């Protein structure tokens, strides 16, 4: 006999899904901010296919922070 979703299942869903989202988005938010990108692009980690592309983009793109650091080093004192 089939039964519907119970309170325990709903409770698990309400805890596990937000926790999984936090554990996915929060580290990438920090990485993006430190690299000089807007932290909001870490929300792409919630989108299928984009969550595969974003780490590669971060790995191979020129980071704005590094560009800014290079410009400061080039400027005469």
Is residue 75 very low, low, confident or very high in pLDDT (cuts 50, 70, 90)?
Answer: confident
What is the predicted pLDDT for the residue at 2?
A: 64
Phi, psi angles (nearest 5°) of residue 53: -75, -40
Q: What is the dihedral of CA 7, 12, 13, 14, to 10 degrees?
A: 90
pLDDT in tens, 28-64: 999 999 999 999 999 999 999 999 999 999 999 999 9
CB count in 10 Å sphere of residue 37 = 20
| DSSP sequence for the chain | ------HHHHHHHHHHHHHHHHHHHHHHHHHHHHHTS-GGGGGGGGSTTHHHHHHHHHHHSPPHHHHHHHHHHHS--
């Amino acid at each position: 006999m089939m039964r519907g979703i119970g309170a325990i299942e709903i409770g698990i869903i309400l805890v596990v899904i937000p926790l999984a989202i936090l554990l996915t988005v929060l580290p990438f938010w920090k990485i993006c901010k430190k690299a000089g990108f807007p932290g909001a692009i870490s929300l792409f980690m919630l989108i299928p296919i984009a969550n595969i592309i974003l780490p590669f983009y971060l790995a191979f793109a020129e980071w704005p922070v590094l560009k800014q650091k290079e410009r400061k080093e080039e400027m005469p004192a």
